[in-house]
A and B are shown apart, each in its own frame.
Chain A
């Protein structure tokens, strides 16, 4: 301590926290009092040591960090990357992806309503006759594969049975007359609905969907095929799988 000033006050002066009057007073004393001046210089030197130490440590830490980063980088370059999956697997995967791509491209290029129709269409085979008395003219003509006669008899008759309507639809399919086939199958389904019966209902739905497909009415065909695919008890459920529905989507996209 020198004069009236404590060391604490001197430190406050160095820290710049004294009021203006006090600071001026201490400044004057430092300039006139040798002892106070020496203490002041020593405290400044102590502060300088702290600053120098702080800066030196900071630079040293930056350098240390740089060396650590460089060592990690060097290690990364040295040690080969451990592949969890062998290169061969990558090649096989790439090959599979390429083949899948080619397959999808092929499907896209080759897909058509006709192809899908041919894939799913099978000519309807009538069950064996139970006896001549119960067999209609339409049924006989269909059994004899005389499709023109089927259509002719069907068209001229006033009242056709559900079975006759169905066979007429099948005959139109054989004749590639898909519009009339659609009319027949829709007529059958409407009649079933009106009478609350299900005679040949599943068959009519399946062939109606095919007729729509061949008639390029993909949306209506898709609705029916999805219904068949969803209904596990449908007679034709096994015929329509998810992949076929995907192909329908692709056909729609292509359109």
Chain B
């Protein structure tokens, strides 16, 4: 869609910040940057599956950084994405204790260092754990929490879309869901710690 139409860095940042245009921004980044970033992974002991996973984490991290106003634009978006990509992949290799890590001495730039807490959250292990915990909540809880905390939908709208009797019933349900999630997280100290440190970075 957007591949043929170059978008300036400023325009792309605006698209990311505007929730309604986020999907277009994600598509654009895939069209424009995936090939060159995945090439780095493939040339450094990674598979195409690794490249796909890492790129997804790159996008998620970048969107969070932009939405937290932590992207200062000291380097262009392409350079910044490449740095995140490299950072995430080297962390992944370190985690797997591959010998190649020693050969790829990574010098992070300042902007990457400033956002290191958010990047800590962007790894396969954390993602898997978050998905696992969310799945344990059940579909109803997942929907309510996503609608309220991710999509920022008003209670009235959620009541209608999910057929709850009234706002109070939904509020009680949401309370229980968040409490359940809190308990599930308390069983995973390292993930809770990672999430908290990511929050401190906001």
Contact = CB atoms under 8 A, between A and B. Distances in A.
Q: Interface majority SS on B: helix, strand, loop or mixed?
A: helix
Contacts of A133: none
A58 B192 CA distance: 22
A53 B130 contact: yes
Contacts of A11: 174-175, 178-179
B34 to A, nearest CB: 9
Interface residues of A, number: 26
A44 B185 CA distance: 11
B27 to A, nearest CB: 6
A97 interface: no
A50 B146 contact: yes
B56 interface: yes
A235 interface: no
Interface stretch (B57-65, B80-88, B156-164): B57-65
A41 B186 CA distance: 11
Interface string A145-158: 00000000000000
Contact of A59 (B26, B134, B151, B174): B26
11 contacts: A41-B199, A42-B192, A44-B199, A49-B130, A49-B134, A49-B195, A50-B145, A51-B150, A52-B121, A56-B56, A59-B59
Interface stretch (A60-68, A106-114, A162-170, A214-222): A60-68
Sorted from nearest, which 4 A-B pairs have the closest CB atoms? A54-B150, A45-B195, A46-B181, A50-B149
B127 interface: yes
B150 to A, nearest CB: 3
A56 B130 contact: yes
Interface residues of B, number: 37
Contact of A50 (B30, B121, B127, B150): B150
A53 B146 contact: yes
B145 A44 contact: no
A52 B181 contact: no
A154 B121 CA distance: 118
Contacts of B198: 48, 52
A60 B182 CA distance: 25
A11 B174 CA distance: 10
B112 interface: no
Given A53-B131, A54-B149, A46 B60 contact: no
